[in-house]
Amino acid sequence: MGRVSAKQNILVIGGGVIGLSTAYELSRRGASVTVIDKGEPGFGCSYGNAGWITPCFALPLPMPGMFLKAVGWLLDPESPLHIHPAADPLLFRWLFGFMRSMRAGKMRESVRALTEISKYSLEAYSKLSVETGSEFGFEKKGLLMAAQSPAGVRAAIQEMELVAAHGVPGRFLTGEETKAFEPALTGKIEGSVYFPEEAHAEPLQVVRAFAAGAEKLGAKLLSRTEIYDFEIGRGGHIQSVRTTRGKFVADQYVLATGSWSHPIARALRLRVPVLGGKGYAMITPVLSPNPSHPMMLIEKKIAVTPRQGAQAGTLRIAGTLELVNGDDSISPRRVNAIVRGAREFMNVPEEPQILELWRGLRPCTPDGVPIIGRASGFTNLTVVTGHQMLGLQSAPGSGRLAAELVLGEKPTFDPHPFRASRF
Ligand X SMILES: Cc1cc2nc3c(=O)[nH]c(=O)nc-3n(C[C@H](O)[C@H](O)[C@H](O)COP(=O)(O)OP(=O)(O)OC[C@H]3O[C@@H](n4cnc5c(N)ncnc54)[C@H](O)[C@@H]3O)c2cc1C
Q: Which parts of this chain interact with ligand X (CB under 6 A)?
A: 13-19, 36-39, 44-46, 49-52, 226-227, 256-260, 264, 279-281, 318, 360, 362-363, 385, 387-393
Here the contacts of 348-355 (C-beta below 8 Å, separation 24 or greater) are 348/284, 348/287, 348/317, 352/282, 352/284, 352/285, 353/284, 353/285, 354/282, 354/283, 354/284, 355/282, 355/283, 355/284, 355/285, 355/314
Q: Quick one: 152 or 203, whose CB is closer to ligand X?
A: 203
Q: Quick one: 76 or 229, whose CB is closer to ligand X?
A: 229
Supply the minimum distance, in Å, between the C-beta of residue 390 and ligand X: 5
Q: At what angle do helices 395-407 and 17-28 cross, to 10 degrees?
A: 50
Q: Quick one: 248 or 345, whose CB is closer to ligand X?
A: 248
Supply the minimum distance, in Å, between the C-beta of residue 386 and ligand X: 8
Supply the minimum distance, in Å, between the C-beta of residue 5 and ligand X: 26
- Cα–Cα distance list, 300 to 81, 84, 250, 344 (Å): 9, 18, 46, 9
Q: Quick one: 37 or 404, whose CB is closer to ligand X?
A: 37
Supply the minimum distance, in Å, between the C-beta of residue 321 and ligand X: 8
Q: Quick one: 168 or 190, whose CB is closer to ligand X?
A: 168
What Rg do the C-alpha atoms of the chain give, in angstroms? 21
Please report, to the nearest 10 degrees, the dihedral formed by the alpha carbons of residues 203, 204, 206, 211 taken in order: 150
DSSP string of 55-77, one letter each residue: GGG---S--TT-HHHHHHHHH-T
Q: Quick one: 156 or 282, whose CB is closer to ligand X?
A: 282
Supply the minimum distance, in Å, between the C-beta of residue 358 and ligand X: 8
Supply the minimum distance, in Å, between the C-beta of residue 235 and ligand X: 25
Report the alpha-carbon distance of residue 183 to residue 303 in Å, rounded: 17
Q: Are 6 and 32 in contact (CB under 8 A)?
A: no
Q: Quick one: 15 or 80, whose CB is closer to ligand X?
A: 15
Q: Quick one: 51 or 190, whose CB is closer to ligand X?
A: 51
Q: Under DSSP, is residue 146 helix (H, G, I), strand (E, B) or coil? A: strand
Supply the minimum distance, in Å, between the C-beta of residue 105 and ligand X: 25
Q: Are 253 and 63 in contact (CB under 8 A)?
A: no
Report the alpha-carbon distance of residue 409 to residue 86 in Å, rounded: 43
Report the alpha-carbon distance of residue 386 to residue 369 in Å, rounded: 7
Supply the minimum distance, in Å, between the C-beta of residue 174 and ligand X: 27
